[in-house]
Amino acid sequence: MEKLKVKIGLEVHVQLTKLKTKLFCSCPSDYRGKPPNTYVCPVCLGLPGSLPKVNSKAIEYAVMVALALNCKINRKVMFFRKHYFYPDMTKNFQITQYDRAGGAPIAVNGYLKLSTSDKEKVVRIRRINIEEDPGKLVYPTGSIITSPYTLVDYNRAGIALLEIVTEPDIETPAEARLFLQKLRSILEHLDVCDCGLEGAVRTDANISVAGGGRVEIKNIGSIKDVEKALMYEILRQKEALLKGLSIRSETRHWDDVRKVTVPLRVKEEEQDYRYFPEADIPPIIITEEFIEKIAKQMPELPDERLKRFQREYGLPYYDSSVLVSNKKLADFFEETVKLYKRNPKKVANVIINDFLRWIHEKGLELDNVKAKPKDIAELLKLLDNGIISIKIAKTVLPEIIVSGKSPSQVVKERKLLKISDKQIIRQIALKIFREHKKAAFDALKDKKAINYLIGQIMKYTKGRADPAVTGKVVKELLTDLKEGKLKL
């Protein structure tokens, strides 16, 4: 089938988790893991007579994000009520922003540059809204389909959210992932959102294939799942087109257990939301001085950090880009380099090639890895000082990642010190030669057999034999064997 034109736009909901309170009331924002409805007050429960009041820090954070995404910041910002009847909001409306009917969201018309292997790609940002998060619905049976009723917890209601909306400039699921990774790294560098927290970043994806209807996939919880959901949707829509069916515009729900999209309730249309100005919240004037002040305080962002890594540590572009794609990883790298200054490239190699792979393999996140930068630095020093072999270093790494023990402790406990004594290696090699006589004679003319013998020595010493010394010893023994000086 020919390649079909795919257009993807994203709506990313980002909780400003670094705020201490909700958007319009002073309820604490660290609601995760708390008993239901214990972080609520008259404002976020929408009780009559309560008055929402804007968290000034939320505006600051929103301006920081807008600047980082190259947006135009509106000077007069308003909140609007978006009406819908659904129990996740007690008021029957959500306080959000609107770009029509005299309204203005905090920021519009920005962009984010992505670097893929072969090109630079610009994804335009249509707008950024500040809005309140709705409450959380809990289904007593665990399923929306089979539950006879719904339970509601309003601890999350009123948490400050940014809704970041892109233009449909994204062309593949992989680009969507890259966009979200970069956005996440920016948010973490700005220190406005701890994106690893459950539900801190939720994405809706709009996708149309070959000019078909626009399908919206709601509420995808992770970057990986955004890519999966989009791949699923493209396949589903292509199959439908092949069968001669047309794709209608609809809203679908990402089922993250079954990894499929399913049709959702019929949704309201824009006019049904009856947007109107939130009269309880006066407009917010954002002055030039305010923006300038924030611009001056902006921390280093991933693009600048990438360039600095190249300049300061002499790292190649690829290494730098992998490291800064995740703020915590880049921090981990820099902490390690502080303790192991002699070779930043070596630190980058270990972190990118081995450390990351093991984290992935053990199903961990950087947050719950036990190994600290000092452990990686120590491992490299043990290696440099000839105390352990590279092979051993590679077996020590996963252990320190999981256990939190220091490398030297692991080496000591598991007796992993490198054997570089030539006499000892010679004795072991002789034993191996005698146990594998055929291989030893084959090795006189076949290089493969030499490697086999070396492999056996490594196996016998559990990787502790110094590779250089071992190679030399085997070569010497083979010469002796050839000249008849050695009898097996």
Partner 1 sequence: MEKLLEHLSWLARVKLCNYERKLLVNDIAKIMEFFNRLGEIDVKDVEPTTHVIELVSVFREDKPGKPLSLDKALKNAPSKEGGFFKAPRIL
- Interatomic CA distance for residues 130 and 164, integer angstroms: 9
- Interatomic CA distance for residues 26 and 148, integer angstroms: 34
How near is the Cβ of 201 to partner 1 at its closest, in Å? 21
Output the CA angle 341-329-121, nearest 5 degrees: 115
**Judged by CB, which is closer to partner 1: 277, or 467?**
277
- Interatomic CA distance for residues 432 and 439, integer angstroms: 10
Beta bridge partners of residue 112, listed in sequence order: 123
Start-to-end C-alpha separation, the chain: 65
How near is the Cβ of 33 to partner 1 at its closest, in Å? 14
Positions touching partner 1 (CB under 8 A) are 19-21, 25-29, 35-42, 45, 47, 53-59, 78, 84-87, 101-103, 137-138, 144-145, 147-154, 265, 268, 272, 277, 279, 281-285
CA of residue 483 relative to chain centroid, distance: 61
How near is the Cβ of 265 to partner 1 at its closest, in Å? 6
CA of residue 165 relative to chain centroid, distance: 19
- Residue 261 DSSP SS3: strand
**Judged by CB, which is closer to partner 1: 20, or 248?**
20
How near is the Cβ of 49 to partner 1 at its closest, in Å? 13
How near is the Cβ of 376 to partner 1 at its closest, in Å? 36
**Judged by CB, which is closer to partner 1: 21, or 129?**
21
**Judged by CB, which is closer to partner 1: 246, or 271?**
271
**Judged by CB, which is closer to partner 1: 270, or 361?**
270
Beta bridge partners of residue 110, listed in sequence order: 125
How near is the Cβ of 55 to partner 1 at its closest, in Å? 5
How near is the Cβ of 283 to partner 1 at its closest, in Å? 5
**Judged by CB, which is closer to partner 1: 39, or 254?**
39
How near is the Cβ of 148 to partner 1 at its closest, in Å? 6
Please list, in sequence order, all residues whose beta carbon lies within 8 angstroms of the beta carbon of residue 333, skipping any fewer than 6 positions away: 309, 323, 347, 348, 351
Strands of the sheet with 6-15, listed across from one edge:
72-73, 107-115, 120-132, 160-166, 6-15, 201-209, 215-220, 250-255, 260-263
**Judged by CB, which is closer to partner 1: 171, or 268?**
268
How near is the Cβ of 199 to partner 1 at its closest, in Å? 18
Please list, in sequence order, all residues whose beta carbon lies within 8 angstroms of the beta carbon of residue 347, skipping any fewer than 6 positions away: 333, 336, 337, 340, 376, 377, 380
Token couple for 24:
């319009």
**Judged by CB, which is closer to partner 1: 148, or 363?**
148
**Judged by CB, which is closer to partner 1: 78, or 229?**
78
CB 229 within 8 A of CB 256: no
Burial of 318 by CB count in 10 Å (0-12 exposed, 13-18 middle, 19+ buried)?
exposed
CB 219 within 8 A of CB 254: yes
**Judged by CB, which is closer to partner 1: 221, or 277?**
277
How near is the Cβ of 222 to partner 1 at its closest, in Å? 25
Element (H, E) at 12: strand 6-15
Please list, in sequence order, all residues whose beta carbon lies within 8 angstroms of the beta carbon of residue 176, skipping any fewer than 6 positions away: 8, 10, 170, 205, 226, 227, 230
Which of 431, 432, 381, 433 has its CA nearest to residue 407? Answer: 381
